[in-house]
Amino acid sequence: MGYSIAQKIIARAAGRDSVTPGEIVTCSVDLALLLDSGGPRRIWPRLKELGAGVWDPDKIVVVTDHFTPAVDAESAAILQLTRDFVREFEIPRFFDMQGIGHVVLTENGFVQPGMFACGGDSHSSNGGAFGCYMVGFGAIEMTGVVVTGEIWLQVPETVRVNWSGAFGPGVAAKDIMLMLCRELGINNAFKVIEFGGDTVAGMTMNERATLTNMAAEMGAETGIVEPDDTTLAAIRAGGQHPDAAALDWCSDADTDYEAVHNFVATELAPQVAAPHSPANSGPVGEVTNVRVDQAYIGACVGAKLSDLHMVAEVLNGRTVAGGTRLLIAPASQQVIVDATTDGTMKILVDAGAYLLPTGCGACAALGAGILAEDEVCISSTNRNFKGRMGANSASVYLGSPYTVAASAVAGQIADPREMLV
């Protein structure tokens, strides 16, 4: 039997000809992402206790995104510590208040096919859209990575998920993931979700990143998409040069997948996940008479340039309903520049949207946009657990940027297809 792309990447990183699911191996890390949330403030004290330094500053990317901009003295201290860490260890790739780490990483072409990468955040799986194996680890594991440049792991099984056909109006990659959280569940530990099929091949890199990002919501180790010319173009757009053998990183035709699932995109309706799990999802038409206090466009999964384009498609010529606030926190400074240049930002502001600073923000109940007791929000973010965006009694629904925008206009959860005719 053949090998999956994940097995091939892990084998290369482990210095092996091949690996088998269930084996425990030690892998050399090609790139490590540290964020202000669980990075230097958790790792540096351990380095001091160990009397250790950083294994390779050139293979580390540091981004401030969770506590930016600082809203209190504690947040400011965390950011200052992060900046001091970067100076202390002379880490050249530091992005301070430039955007959400997972998006900054891909915007700059830092993740490439065949890489074995890791990050100190569960949504590090975002990088898998570029054909690399990228997984999130906790602060203790990331301390080991920072010191040694290595990490052990149990080789996961791979589940192949194929999508065929074109999306209908108002449907996006986010709808795929909300549907998969329901159909395949959120307990996929020690599994890689490999996305394929002509639907995925036709997606932009931003949409592919939505798939791999939310593999974390399925409980998977990571998500991955085999690289193609679209991948290489995105790497070049980020100012980097793809490896000459980049397209060789693909699964064998006779790969022994744990399971293969086939779905048809033309049959998919816009999805909404009800509180308090992404798996509580169903077609938007099943959610009726749910008034919305806040509609939120944000996070690494839901505020990229293509996401703002979806919002603008709905909002163009319309206004946000009275009694409902639409908050937009673009995923990066580059997104703000691009959305301003192409006219998207004007459409959003003219419709009554409030613009927030780039960063993780209300997605992680940090900064502006958190919810009060008993408020109802529909959000383009990845999670809707109790208390995730503020008060424990608040209710958070999840939808695509199309659905969030339509709900902001209607003042209640609404089907975006009705506004895209």
* pLDDT, tens only, 300-355: 999 999 999 999 999 999 999 999 999 999 999 999 999 999 999 999 999 999 99
Q: What is the pLDDT of residue 156?
A: 98
Q: How far apart are CA 178 and CA 372, in angstroms?
A: 25
Contact 158, 57 (CB under 8 A): no
In this structure, the answer to whether residues 309 and 162 fall within a common structural domain is no
Q: How far apart are CA 346 and CA 326, in angstroms?
A: 14
In this structure, the answer to whether residues 285 and 211 fall within a common structural domain is no
With bands split at pLDDT 50, 70 and 90, how would you rate the model's confidence at 1?
Answer: confident
Q: Which two tokens stand for residue 196?
A: 């394929």
Q: What is the pLDDT of residue 367?
A: 84
Q: Which two tokens stand for residue 392?
A: 């424990």
Torsion of CA 34, 46, 149, 80, to 10 degrees: 30
In this structure, the answer to whether residues 213 and 325 fall within a common structural domain is no
Q: Has residue 421 got a pLDDT over 90?
A: no
In this structure, the answer to whether residues 284 and 152 fall within a common structural domain is no
Residue that the structure tokens 């969030």 belong to: 404
Q: Each residue of 394-409: pLDDT tens digit?
A: 999 999 999 999 999 9
Amino acid letter, 355: L
Domain interval for residue 358: 271-419
Q: How far apart are CA 305 and CA 88, in angstroms?
A: 34
Q: How far apart are CA 88 and CA 187, in angstroms?
A: 40
Q: What is the pLDDT of residue 193?
A: 98
| DSSP string of 303-335, one letter each residue | -SHHHHHHHHHHHTT--PPTT-EEEE--SBHHH
Measuring CA to CA, how many Å separate 254 from each of 44, 249, 251, 370?
45, 15, 8, 48
Q: How many CB atoms lie within 10 A of CB 84?
A: 12
In this structure, the answer to whether residues 102 and 183 fall within a common structural domain is yes
Q: How far apart are CA 57 and CA 94, in angstroms?
A: 10
In this structure, the answer to whether residues 112 and 225 fall within a common structural domain is yes
In this structure, the answer to whether residues 292 and 216 fall within a common structural domain is no
pTM tops 0.95: yes
The percentage of the chain sitting over the pLDDT mark of 90, rounded to a whole number, equals 99
Q: What is the CATH number of the domain that holds 137?
A: 3.30.499.10
Q: What is the pLDDT of residue 298?
A: 97
In this structure, the answer to whether residues 196 and 323 fall within a common structural domain is no
Q: Which two tokens stand for residue 190?
A: 């020690």
Q: Each residue of 128-179: pLDDT tens digit?
A: 999 999 999 999 999 999 999 999 999 999 999 999 999 999 999 999 999 9
pLDDT average, residue stretch 30-54: 97
In this structure, the answer to whether residues 30 and 60 fall within a common structural domain is yes
> Which domain-ending residue is among 264, 296, 326?
264
In this structure, the answer to whether residues 300 and 188 fall within a common structural domain is no
> Which domain-ending residue is among 264, 297, 331?
264
Q: Which two tokens stand for residue 62?
A: 């540091």
Nearest CA-CA partner of 242 in 143, 112, 384? 112
Q: Which residue has the higher pLDDT, 367 or 228?
A: 228
Q: How far apart are CA 234 and CA 131, in angstroms?
A: 12
> Which domain-ending residue is among 264, 296, 312?
264
Amino acid letter, 180: L
Measuring CA to CA, how many Å separate 277 from each of 46, 273, 280, 383, 387?
34, 7, 5, 7, 12
In this structure, the answer to whether residues 137 and 283 fall within a common structural domain is no
Q: 73-89 vs 40-50: helix axis angle to the nearest 10?
A: 50
The percentage of the chain sitting over the pLDDT mark of 70, rounded to a whole number, equals 100
Nearest CA-CA partner of 371 in 357, 352, 384? 384
In this structure, the answer to whether residues 198 and 300 fall within a common structural domain is no
Q: How many CB atoms lie within 10 A of CB 357?
A: 15
Average pLDDT, the chain: 97
Nearest CA-CA partner of 184 in 145, 153, 220? 220
Q: Residue 53: phi, psi to the nearest 5?
A: -120, -155
CA angle, residues 224, 229, 231, in degrees to nearest 5: 40
Question: Which of 20-29, 186-195, 304-313, 359-368 has the lowest average pLDDT?
Answer: 359-368
Q: Each residue of 260-291: pLDDT tens digit?
A: 999 999 999 999 999 999 999 999 999 999 99
Contact 89, 53 (CB under 8 A): yes
Number of domains observed in the structure of the chain? 2
